[in-house]
Amino acid sequence: MINEKGIFGGEISSIYIPLFKNKTYEPHASGYVTDAFAKELIATGIFKLNKDDSDGYIEGTITKIRIMPSSMNAQGIVIEKNLEMTIDLSLFNKTGAFIKKWTLLEYEIYNTSDVSVEDYNKREAMRRMSGRMARRFSSMALIDY
């Protein structure tokens, strides 16, 4: 059902991705995720991204970000944390008719042994996770249609 360009029988070849909604307390997470999805969909070569005259749009929501200790050193200090992110994606055509919904979950362990770079490591983990989720979404969208 994949046409030369687009999905859903070629009906959706240009897509709009508004900023993902963030229902968590992690600031800037929606920017990382939205950026990763935009880059991935452009990289496939199947879609054009535009806001005006798009054939469809994706609504994304970050529903959960959870950070848990992963490992500790001999003194009982956490040196690695596990970051878990869940997002919901919905695809709509240009008239606003719902097409399909996906839920994606991803994990990443990041280093916290050096407090001065812990926040940086967490942000980089979010970027890597966002990229993996975007690649998985891109693959699923192409397989489904």
pLDDT tens sequence across 43-102: 888 788 877 788 899 999 999 999 999 999 999 999 999 999 999 999 998 899 998 999
Residue 3 sits at φ, ψ, to 5 deg, of -85, 180
As for how many domains the chain has, the answer is 1
* Residue 95 counted as domain residue: yes
Alpha carbons 145 and 142: distance in angstroms, whole number: 5
Between 129 and 12, name the one with better pLDDT: 129
The predicted model scores a pTM of 0.88
Alpha carbons 53 and 63: distance in angstroms, whole number: 29
* Residue 70 counted as domain residue: yes
What size, in residues, is the chain? 145
Query: What residues make up the domain containing 79?
Result: 14-144
* Residue 74 counted as domain residue: yes
Whether the per-residue pLDDT at 118 is higher than 60: the answer is yes
CA-to-CA dists, residue 78 to 63, 65, 68, 74, 84, angstroms: 26, 19, 10, 10, 17
What tokens were used for 20?
Answer: 């993902």
pLDDT band at 143 (very low <50, low <70, confident <90, very high): confident
* Residue 129 counted as domain residue: yes
